[in-house]
Structure 1
Amino acid sequence: MLNDPIRLVLTDESDSKDIWRHGSASAFRLNCEFSPGAPAGGSVDAWNLGRLDILDGRFAHLSLAPLADRGDTWLYLKLVTQGAMHIEQGRQARRIGPGEIVLVESSRPYRQSFDEPTGLIALRFPASALKERGLRHDLRNFITPDMSTADARAIGDLVASIAAQRGATSANMRCRQGDQLLDLIDLLIDDPAALMRARSGDATLFRAKRFIAQNLRSPDLTVSLIASAVCVSDTHLSRLFRAEGESVMRYVWESRLVLAADILKRNDKGRVQISDIAYRCGFSTASHFSRAFRERYGVSPREALAADGCEAATWFGAAGTHI
């Protein structure tokens, strides 16, 4: 993944093409070949969205192909915003026009060519990011979603909207945007077995924990509610959590206490009520919250709130909490 934003620009300078080739290879693992014509004016801006990289580029009179890489397999979502891109993989070949999307996997050789000035937004992410979600991640050939559907158009609009922000949002915001995009990828992949794969144990646990994190503040969070949200039985969900050495509700309470510890550590002393933290973390009463917190960390919430940074880090670190 990209650690820092990257910008490449093609100019009329004599060494511009060499700089572009080097940047394409080192940053994106892509081999660039120029064709007759004037590629000057081409540009690439790229930045990180958590587990994804996003690229906003302008290309003309060149082609790109993935370099051989023994590392992680990458998947790409490419949205053409203007002009056209020609893509070839195996026996498939297609022209991708404005508003169209193509998904392609780097482990199988492919080539994308730009014979005219073309705008392209691309997402790059490891195949493992889909695998752990129980989603299809081993594309045999490139996929072109049906852009006449409202879902596909909405995803395209979302990708374009995030690209327009140019990476100006916070790292936390970009990470959440990346997770949201990963969760939507399966809507673009036509795979009738996707729902069956999505019910694999690891994927079910992933979705259950995500649902818990999203609803942690609700006091009505129960095993039945969580199981229903991920489309499995209470018994099956409990079995999956037991395989990790804990019960569903123990995981819920532990997550709530971690959230509470984080709030206490980050809030200004005297500006927050313990009862407010209790309710924000899904506890029905402040007394229940205080008992559970003391049992977990060995101090009361009020003592933790009054502690200085080093003392708090010692308490929370000793209890195995990462905040």
Structure 2
Amino acid sequence: MEEAPRLETDLQNAFTEWSIDEIPTNDRTDAWQDVLSHSYREWQVPQRLPATFYASVKQHDFAGAGIVETICDPCVGQRKRAQVRHDDELYVGVQLTTGGRERFRIGDSGVEVTSGDLVVWTTDQEVQFEVLERLHKVTLMIPWSVMRERLPERKQPPSGGKIESHTGVGSLLAVHLLALSNQIESLDQTVQASVSRSTLELLGIALSGQQPSATFDASAAMLRRVKDFILRHLHEEDLNPTRIAEANNISLRYLHMLFQRSDMTVSGFILDSRLHVCKEALIDPAFQRLQISEIAFRWGFNSISHFCRTFRQRYGASPGDVRRAAPSGTSGSDADIV
């Protein structure tokens, strides 16, 4: 298809405007998938579009974020695990629907939005949308790194779901996003940073009253699965991020993104988990005949000096001190020998 490369180039500009009218009928499904992917991260359009399908997109850069205005006829799109894995950066999408009707679906549940509704979603989730009536919407696409920098009190990305947009702060945010989309072309680059700070502060206040949605928990389930794998393999010296990602059929970047949401690193979780099980073993009578070095090696440490140093940093006492302080301690026995 000849149009796709041109679309990719165009959508990287500071301001773009695209219409499906320019695309040959047979190429419209692929072209629409390309436009969605370059506007909202990677999406898949699983159903061929009818010849009468209409869509247009305007995209603006906005102080490190993006504003996307979209009009489209009924269609379906999805971000499955394959698309989510390809992302190397987490984004938060804040969508204001200004006309039409759309349904988001995660697992067995979903949320439906109509004119005036605000919905939040994140790019580390598996999600499907279905446009039910010709849709008009404005979406603010914010890198999580930018949002976290400007809202330092927010430690984790927002949960997906609706924001109350008909009263209170949510109503102010909806009006603000609509005005922003109408005026973004006239905003000088020198003032966009200030406007962006105001936008994110308003968003932060609106999110503080958001009710969490149980439907947007795909990444949490994957994180639990990965952690369970790590805990089952703590005893293996070669347990590392690359092996963990391969064993769970996810990319290394997605693995690090999962732990970023929990404000930790993969290696940090492995180390903390190993230290915890070693500490439990040191005070467990069932392991009292094992030397401290044997306990450390049993759960994946390959250097006793590294184990003792990190153990003291974590618990404020040496492994020997912890063992001797336990009610069933073996003070003075060979088990204290490193």
TM-score normalised by structure 2 residue count: 0.51
Cα deviation for residue 120 of structure 1 reads 0.6
1:117 equivalenced with 2:134 (yes/no): yes
Number of residue pairs matched? 192
Cα 1:70–1:19 shift into 2, 3 Å: closer
Task: Answer with 177-186 or 15-24: which moved more.
Answer: 15-24
1:185 counterpart SS class: helix
What is the aligned partner in structure 2 of residue 269 from structure 1? none
Alpha-carbon distance in structure 2 between the residues aligned to 1:166 and 1:20:
24
Cα 1:130–1:27 shift into 2, 3 Å: closer
What is the aligned partner in structure 2 of residue 19 from structure 1? 31
What is the aligned partner in structure 2 of residue 60 from structure 1? 73
2:186 counterpart SS class: coil
2:196 counterpart SS class: helix
1:83 counterpart SS class: strand
1:143 equivalenced with 2:168 (yes/no): no
User: Any conservation in 1 of the 2:70–2:136 contact (CA below 8 Å)?
Assistant: yes
Alpha-carbon distance in structure 2 between the residues aligned to 1:100 and 1:125:
19
- Summarize deviations over 1:245-265 as a string: whole Å, max 9, x none: xxxxxxxxxxxxxxxxxxxxx
Cα 1:27–1:96 shift into 2, 3 Å: closer
1:9 to 13, 19, 26: 19
User: Any conservation in 1 of the 2:39–2:59 contact (CA below 8 Å)?
Assistant: no
Alpha-carbon distance in structure 2 between the residues aligned to 1:53 and 1:29:
11
1:30 to 37, 42, 49: 42
Structure 2, unpaired ranges of 5+: 1-10, 211-338
What is the aligned partner in structure 2 of residue 156 from structure 1? 174
Q: If each structure's helix is expressed as a fraction of its own residues, which one has the higher value?
A: 2
Alpha-carbon distance in structure 2 between the residues aligned to 1:18 and 1:167:
29
User: Any conservation in 2 of the 1:75–1:124 contact (CA below 8 Å)?
Assistant: yes
Alpha-carbon distance in structure 2 between the residues aligned to 1:114 and 1:148:
22
Give the RMSD, CA atoms, in angstroms. 2.6
What is the aligned partner in structure 2 of residue 308 from structure 1? none
2:63 to 50, 54, 62: 50
What is the aligned partner in structure 2 of residue 76 from structure 1? 93
TM-score normalised by structure 1 residue count: 0.53
Alpha-carbon distance in structure 2 between the residues aligned to 1:46 and 1:83:
20
Structure 1, unpaired ranges of 5+: 193-323
What is the aligned partner in structure 1 of residue 119 from structure 2? 102
Cα 1:149–1:32 shift into 2, 3 Å: same
Q: Superposition pairs for residues 265-304 of structure 1, below 5 Å? A: none
User: Any conservation in 2 of the 1:43–1:57 contact (CA below 8 Å)?
Assistant: yes
Cα deviation for residue 116 of structure 1 reads 1.4
User: Any conservation in 2 of the 1:80–1:101 contact (CA below 8 Å)?
Assistant: yes
Paired letter, 1:117: R
User: Any conservation in 1 of the 2:28–2:49 contact (CA below 8 Å)?
Assistant: no
What is the aligned partner in structure 1 of residue 196 from structure 2? 178
2:198 counterpart SS class: helix
Identity rate of aligned residues, in percent? 13
Alpha-carbon distance in structure 1 between the residues aligned to 2:106 and 2:62:
27
Cα deviation for residue 103 of structure 1 reads 0.7
Paired letter, 1:17: T
Alpha-carbon distance in structure 1 between the residues aligned to 2:157 and 2:67:
20
